[in-house]
């Protein structure tokens, strides 16, 4: 049975946060997993990491982490010093994950987010090759520590390197590590793929993590994403990994700015109640 989680930033305006209260919150709302910001945990002190790990253990909540790398850590950069900085950053995150009791990292960990192509002055193939070579180095930390890294396939307006499941599979195959898999996201697939179910089936055994959210960034059930089709395709590939909700409703702060939420998408909603409903909705289509 898939564990169901939610991304902490559903409730926040800024990326840095104290995650401990959200562990208790998601437990109360019926979730199995809290997904948190990998950049934040890499900067925590030892006592803070222990507090986070102990709280998760106390509540029985699993944690995953996610990040979009900044330009200074771009694994696809033409500058070798930037690529090495990205490898070093991922290594620090890997060490922090172990200290926090986290075994999976997802996101745009192969380049930077948001990442444009036009100002690079290189071909996409050159950027791809630099990213693959960098990831072959970075994934060694995951292999050594028993972690899984999932590269996120996102829409063309947020990154250029991989926008489809086909590209994600090609990338993972080229890196060639069993510790590197793919994160698909229903919001992004709705923009780029011919069919969402088809993209899931194309990814198949390489699918290591799934983000869910509606076509309009609302929680599942408030848009036109074909949830029955998604559930059927997940069953077809025997997907047993975690499904994490990633809705964003609130404008303002770093989160609203970076996700480009410019209005309150559900102005009269009780965020906790909507999360509870979305958790139940998710478990239903996964049955």
Mean pLDDT of the chain: 98
Cα-based distances in Å from 191 to 155, 157, 158, 266? 6, 10, 12, 22
Active-site entry in 35, 152, 193, 214: 152
What is the arithmetic mean of pLDDT over 144-165? 98
Asked if the model's pLDDT at residue 119 lies above 90, the reply is: no
Asked if the model's pLDDT at residue 1 lies above 90, the reply is: no
What is the arithmetic mean of pLDDT over 18-33? 99
What is the arithmetic mean of pLDDT over 88-108? 99
- The pLDDT of residue 82: 98
- Please answer whether residues 150 and 179 qualify as being in contact, where contact means their C-beta atoms are separated by less than 8 angstroms: no
pTM above 0.75, yes or no: yes
pLDDT tens-digit map of 195-248: 999 999 999 999 999 999 999 999 999 999 999 999 999 999 999 999 999 999
Q: Which residues of 60-98 are buried (b: 16+ CB within 10 A; e: fewer)?
A: ebbbbbbbbbeeebbbbbeeeebbebbbebbbbbbebbe
> What CATH number is associated with residue 279?
3.20.20.150
Number of domains in the chain: 1
In terms of residue numbers, what domain contains 141?
A: 4-286
Asked if the model's pLDDT at residue 23 lies above 90, the reply is: yes
Is 274 an active-site residue? no
Active-site entry in 35, 193, 241, 246: 246
Q: According to DSSP H, which parts of 43-162 are helical?
A: 46-59, 80-100, 124-145
pLDDT tens-digit map of 251-267: 999 999 999 999 999 99
Backbone angles phi, psi at 180, to 5 degrees: -115, 120
What is the arithmetic mean of pLDDT over 124-152? 99
What is the arithmetic mean of pLDDT over 169-198? 99
- The pLDDT of residue 213: 97
Q: What is the C-alpha to C-alpha distance for residues 96 and 43, in angstroms, rounded to an integer?
A: 8
Backbone angles phi, psi at 241, to 5 degrees: -90, -170
* Confidence bin at 130 (pLDDT 50/70/90): very high
Cβ atoms within 10 Å of 103's Cβ, excluding its own: 16
Asked if the model's pLDDT at residue 135 lies above 90, the reply is: yes
- The pLDDT of residue 185: 99
Is 254 an active-site residue? no
Question: Which residue spans within the chain are E strands per DSSP?
Answer: 4-7, 33-37, 62-68, 104-108, 148-152, 180-185, 207-212, 243-245
């Amino acid at each position: 049975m898939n564990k169901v989680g939610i991304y902490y930033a559903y409730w926040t305006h800024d990326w840095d946060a104290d995650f401990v209260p959200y562990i208790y919150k998601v437990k109360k709302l019926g979730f199995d997993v809290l997904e948190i910001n990998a950049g934040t945990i890499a900067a925590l002190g030892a006592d803070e990491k222990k507090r986070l790990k102990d709280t998760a253990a106390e509540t029985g909540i699993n944690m995953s982490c996610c990040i979009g790398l900044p330009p200074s850590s771009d694994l696809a950069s033409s500058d070798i010093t930037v690529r090495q900085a990205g490898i070093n950053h991922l290594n620090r995150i890997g060490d922090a994950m172990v200290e926090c009791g986290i075994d999976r990292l997802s996101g745009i960990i192969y380049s930077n987010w948001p990442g444009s192509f036009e100002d690079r002055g290189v071909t996409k193939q050159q950027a791809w090759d630099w990213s693959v070579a960098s990831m072959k180095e970075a994934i060694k930390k995951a292999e050594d520590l028993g972690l899984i890294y999932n590269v996120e396939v996102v829409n063309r307006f947020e990154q250029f390197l991989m926008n489809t499941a086909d590209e994600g599979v090609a990338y993972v195959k080229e890196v060639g590590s069993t510790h590197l898999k793919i994160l698909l996201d229903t919001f992004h697939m709705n923009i780029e793929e011919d069919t969402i179910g088809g993209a899931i089936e194309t990814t198949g055994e390489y699918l290591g993590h799934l983000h869910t959210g509606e076509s309009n960034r609302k929680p599942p059930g408030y848009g036109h994403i074909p949830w029955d089709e998604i559930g059927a395709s997940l069953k077809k590939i025997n997907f047993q990994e975690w499904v994490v909700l990633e809705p964003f409703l609130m404008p303002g702060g770093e989160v609203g700015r970076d996700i480009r939420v410019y209005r309150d998408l559900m102005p009269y909603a009780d965020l906790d109640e909507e999360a509870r409903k979305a958790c139940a909705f998710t478990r239903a289509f996964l049955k």
